[in-house]
Amino acid sequence: MKLLLKSIVAGLLMFGCTPGLFGQSAAEISRKSTEVIDLGSTQMDFTIYIRDNKGSERVRQLTMISGVFNGVGKTLVRFTAPSDVQGTTLLIYDNKDKEDDMWIYMPALKKVRRIISSERGKSFMGSEFTNADMSKPNQAVFNYSLLGTTVYDGKECWMVQSEGRDQTISKAYGYSKSVSYIDKNSYLSYKVEYYDLSGNLHRILTSLDYKNVTKTTFFSYRTVMENVQNKRVSEMVVNKVETGTKPGEELFSPNALQ
Amino acid sequence: MKRIILFSILICTVLQAQAQWNGNTDFNIHGYGRGSVYGGSKAYDLTSVFAELSLQASVKKGPAILESDIRFSTGMFFNEKDTRFRIRELYAGYKSRKVDVFLGNQIVIWGRTDGFNPTNNISPNDYFFLSSDPADQQQSNFMLKMQYRPLPGVDLELVAIPFYKMSSYRFDLFDMGELGNYLLFVDDMLPERILANGTYAVRVNFEYPAFGGSVSWFQGYDPYHGFNVVSVNWASSQPVIRIASVPYRKTAIGADLAVPVGNYMIVRAEASYSHTKNPENKMFIPNPDLSYVVGIETNVLDFIIIGQYIGKFTFDYSPLSVPAPPKDSNPAALIQYTEKYIDYENRLFNRKVFNQQERTNHAVSLTITRSFAYDVLSAECTAYYNFTSKEWLLRPKLNWRISDALMAAVGGHYMKGGEKTLYGYSSAIMNGAFAELKVIF
C-alpha cells in the first residue's frame, strides 16, 4: 500500500507489455502514466465522504505522509476524525517484490501492532474504496490489453483493460477486471470501471480536479468512487498538499508511531 | 459535589484555553459521554450501571506535549452508589524524532501477544471495572518514561515509577462459602514510599519488516499482587481472619516477537522469567516462574482469527498438603489445626491468583473478529480454556456504529469454573450481559 491519492489513479499503472494497436504499447503508456503521477515525498490532508443510498453521510479525515527510501515507498496515514479513531496511525511499506508490511498504532491499545497485509479487497475505512485501490498494483500479476479509444469528458482516451492472471489474484484485489480511460495527451486517468468476480460492473472511479504538483506531475484533488450495485458513493477530497520537503526515514519507523 | 464543581471548572478552563491558544499551538480536545449497563449475574441484577464523561485534551507546541484523559462517572457499582473523578492519564513532556521524555500519570502496555502478556508488568488494572471495553480496566501510575530511538526500527525505553500502585481485584465480593464467614478484608499493605521501593524497567525494542521483537527487564513490586493473612483473632467464639492485599517484589526478564509468514499469517510469541525471593515462605509471594505465550493471527474469509497457547512453568514447585485434623479434641490442638487449615486455604488461594496450582499450567485462547456492512457493524468473540484448572470463559460482543457520533455495543461475559476456583468465585459476580451507548465528540 503506498501513496493513497496517487494510487487512486491506479488505472494508470495497469498496463502490460502487449504492443498496442495505436502506436504505443501498454508498457509505454504505463511508464509514462507512472511518471505523470509520481509525487515523491508528500504530505497531504484529505477527507473521505461516505454516502449511502439513503443519503446519510459519514466523514473520515486523514493526514498522509509518504516518502521513498532505498526503493521502498513508505506511507504514514494518521486518522484525525472522527474523534474515536483520532490518533490511530497506519504505517505501510510498499514492497515491490513481496507483500506490503503494515503496522497500526491504536491509542486505546497503547502499542504498535503488526497486521496482516492480505486484505486488499476489503473496504478502506468503510468507504467504497478498497485497500487495493489505495495500492500500486503489482503489474506482474495482471494481463493487460488495449480495448480501443473513446472520447470521455471531451478528451480522447485509451481504454485499457487489466485482468488478474488467475482467480487468486482477482479475489485478492476484489475485482475480475478493470477498464481505465487514459487521456492520450496527458496520460492522466479520468475514469476506471471495476468489474466484480462475476464479471458485472461493480464500481466506477472518477478522478477530477487534476492539479500540477510540479511542472511535469499531477494528481487528482477529488476522486469519486460509485458503487453501481448498491448505489453507495464515496468521495475523497484533498484539502492540503505539501511536496518537496523530504521527511526523515525515522518518521516511518514503527517505533515512532506512538 | 466538590468533584462535580472541580470537573466543571476543568472543562470550562480547557475550553477557554482552547480558544486562546495561538496558531502555533496544536490544541485538541475530544472525548465521549456514555451510559453503560452490565448485569445479570447471580449476585447482582445490575452489577455495574454508570454514566461517564471523558475529556481527552492534548496540547502540542513544538516538542512540548501535554496529554490528558480525565473521566467523570457516576452510578451503581456492585450495589453501591459511587461517583468517581478519575485522572486516567495526565502527563507532560518532550517529544522529538530521537528522544521522548514524559512525566506524569501514564499507562504503559508491553508485549506483542494478545490479552495475555507475560512481559506486561508495569501498569495496574482494575479487574472489576465492568464495561464493554476491557481497556477501561487499565490504570495509570505516576512515572518517568523515556524513549530513545538511535536508529529507525530500534528504540530503548526506560520506565521509573517512584510509588507503587496495585491492581484492584475486589475479592471481598466473592462468596467463599463457609470460609467467607470468617474472612475480613482489611487495608492494603503498601510498601513504604521510598525510592528503594520504586519500580524500574527497561526495554529494547526492534521492529523490522522481517520481524519485530523486544527484550525487557523489570524490577519492582508487581501490580498483580497477592494476599496475606494478617492475623487470626480468636477473641470471639469463631475466628476472624484478617486478609490484606500485599505486593511482592520481583525481577523479570522477558522477550517477545512477531514474525509475518507470507501475507496470510503472523506468529507472535512472548515469554518472561519472574524471579522472586521468599526465604520466609510468605504466602503472598509466588514461586519463580516462566510464563510463555505462542499465538498465530490469520485471516480466513474476512474473519480475523487469533489463536494462542498460554503456558507457565513454576520452579521449586511442591504441592500443598491438606492439614490432618487432630486425633484428640484438645482445644490447643484444634486451634493449631485451624490455623494450619487457614494457612493452607489462603496459600491455595494465592496459587490460584498466580496460576501456580500445578508445576505446569496450560491454557488456550481463541479470538475471532469480523466487520460487516462497511465497518458499521463489528463482531468479536473471545474464548479461553485452562486445561489445568478446567476454567473457561466466553465473551461475545457486537459493536454498532450508528453514526459518526453515536455508537452502541452489546455483549456478554460468561465464565465457569469448578468449586473454589477463581472463575467459580468470579462467575457469580462477573457473568452477565452488557450494553453501552456512547456519543463521541
B45-82 confidence digits (pLDDT tens): 999 999 999 999 999 999 999 999 999 999 999 999 99
Contact status, residue B430 vs residue B415, Cβ threshold 8 Å: yes
- Maximum Cα interatomic distance, chain A, rounded to a whole number of Å: 56
Give me the number of domains chain B comprises: 1
| Residue A15 pLDDT | 34
CA angle, residues A215, A217, A221, in degrees to nearest 5: 115
Task: Please enumerate in sequence order all residues whose Cβ is within 8 A of that of B101, keeping only pairs 6 or more positions apart, or say none.
Answer: B93, B94, B144, B145, B146
Q: How many CA atoms lie within 13 A of B299 on its CB side?
A: 18
Angstrom distance (rounded) from CA B52 to CA B31: 10
DSSP label of A123: B
| Residue B18 pLDDT | 53
**Could you report the predicted ipTM of this complex, rounded to two decimals?**
0.84
Of A135, A101, A89, the closest CA to residue B259 belongs to A101
| Residue A152 pLDDT | 94
For residue A230, give the chain B residue with the closest CA.
Answer: B373
Written as nine digits, the cell of A90 is 497506519
Residue A127 at interface with chain B, using a CB cutoff of 8 Å: yes
In this prediction, residue B396 has a pLDDT band, given cuts at 50, 70 and 90, of: very high
| Contacting residues of B for A111, CB less than 8 Å apart | 109-112
Written as nine digits, the cell of B128 is 472489576
pLDDT digits (tens, 9 = 90+) for B307-335: 999 999 999 999 999 999 888 878 888 88
| Residue A118 pLDDT | 64
| Contacting residues of A for B375, CB less than 8 Å apart | 123, 125-126
DSSP per residue over B309-359, as a string? EEEEEETT-----PPPPPSS--HHHHHHHHHHHHHHHHHHHHHHHTT-SSS
Torsion of CA B327, B333, B334, B340, to 10 degrees: -100
Instruction: Please tell me whether the peptide bond between B279 and the residue prior to it is cis, using omega within 30 degrees of 0.
Output: no
Of B105, B36, B100, the closest CA to residue B70 belongs to B105
Per the model's pLDDT, the better-predicted residue between B238 and A140 turns out to be: B238
Contact status, residue B247 vs residue B222, Cβ threshold 8 Å: yes
Per the model's pLDDT, the better-predicted residue between B180 and A137 turns out to be: B180
Range of the domain at B173: 2-440
* Beta strand extents in A101-200 (DSSP E only): 101-106, 111-115, 142-152, 155-164, 177-183, 189-195
Q: Which stretches of B192-330 are DSSP H helices?
A: none
Contact status, residue A210 vs residue A187, Cβ threshold 8 Å: no
Written as nine digits, the cell of A73 is 515507498
Ranked by mean pLDDT, the top range of B21-35, B83-97, B163-177 is B83-97
| Residue B413 pLDDT | 97
Of B336, B170, B325, B321, the closest CA to residue B239 belongs to B336
Q: Above 80 in pLDDT, residue B135?
A: yes
| Residue A37 pLDDT | 74
In this prediction, residue B5 has a pLDDT band, given cuts at 50, 70 and 90, of: low
Q: Above 60 in pLDDT, residue B22?
A: no
User: If you count them, how many residues does chain B have?
Assistant: 441
B234: left (phi over 0), alpha (psi -120 to 50) or beta: alpha
| Residue A14 pLDDT | 37
Q: What domains sit in chain A, N to C, each tagged with a CATH number?
A: 6-256 (2.50.20.10)
Q: Above pLDDT 90, what percent of chain B?
A: 81
Low-confidence stretches of chain A (pLDDT < 70) are: 1-23, 27, 30-31, 34, 38-40, 118-119, 135-138, 244
Residue type (1 letter), B378 = S
Q: Which stretches of B232-330 are DSSP H helices?
A: none
| Residue B53 pLDDT | 97
Distance from CA of A154 to the nearest CA of B (A): 35
Beta-bridged to residue A193, according to DSSP, are: A179, A204
- In this prediction, residues B374-387 reach a mean pLDDT of 95
- In this prediction, residues B175-180 reach a mean pLDDT of 80
Angstrom distance (rounded) from CA B148 to CA A112: 16
Written as nine digits, the cell of A65 is 505522509
Residue type (1 letter), B213 = G
Residue A200 at interface with chain B, using a CB cutoff of 8 Å: no
Angstrom distance (rounded) from CA B10 to CA B57: 11
Angstrom distance (rounded) from CA B246 to CA B191: 9
For residue B115, give the chain A residue with the closest CA.
Answer: A109
| Contacting residues of B for A115, CB less than 8 Å apart | 266
Of A29, A88, A37, A23, the closest CA to residue A62 belongs to A88
| Residue A43 pLDDT | 86
In this prediction, residue B363 has a pLDDT band, given cuts at 50, 70 and 90, of: very high
Chain B positions with Cβ closer than 8 Å to A: 28, 30-32, 97-98, 107-112, 133, 135, 138, 149, 152-155, 205, 207, 209, 212, 258, 260, 262-266, 297-299, 302, 304, 374-376, 403-405, 407, 440-441
Of B361, B378, B362, the closest CA to residue B370 belongs to B378
| Contacting residues of A for B131, CB less than 8 Å apart | none
pLDDT digits (tens, 9 = 90+) for A221-234: 999 999 999 999 99
Torsion of CA B192, B196, B198, B204, to 10 degrees: -170
B425: left (phi over 0), alpha (psi -120 to 50) or beta: alpha
| Contacting residues of B for A122, CB less than 8 Å apart | 302
Angstrom distance (rounded) from CA B169 to CA B126: 7
Interchain pair A116, B403: CB under 8 A: no
Of A77, A104, A112, A106, the closest CA to residue A2 belongs to A77
| Contacting residues of A for B403, CB less than 8 Å apart | 56, 58
Distance from CA of A213 to the nearest CA of B (A): 26
pLDDT digits (tens, 9 = 90+) for A81-121: 888 888 999 998 888 777 788 899 988 888 899 988 766 77
Distance from CA of B174 to the nearest CA of A (A): 30
Q: What stretch of H or E contains B252?
A: strand B249-261
A44 backbone dihedrals φ, ψ, rounded to 5° = -145, 150
Angstrom distance (rounded) from CA A148 to CA A184: 12
CA angle, residues B130, B135, B136, in degrees to nearest 5: 45
Cβ count near A229 (within 10 Å) = 11
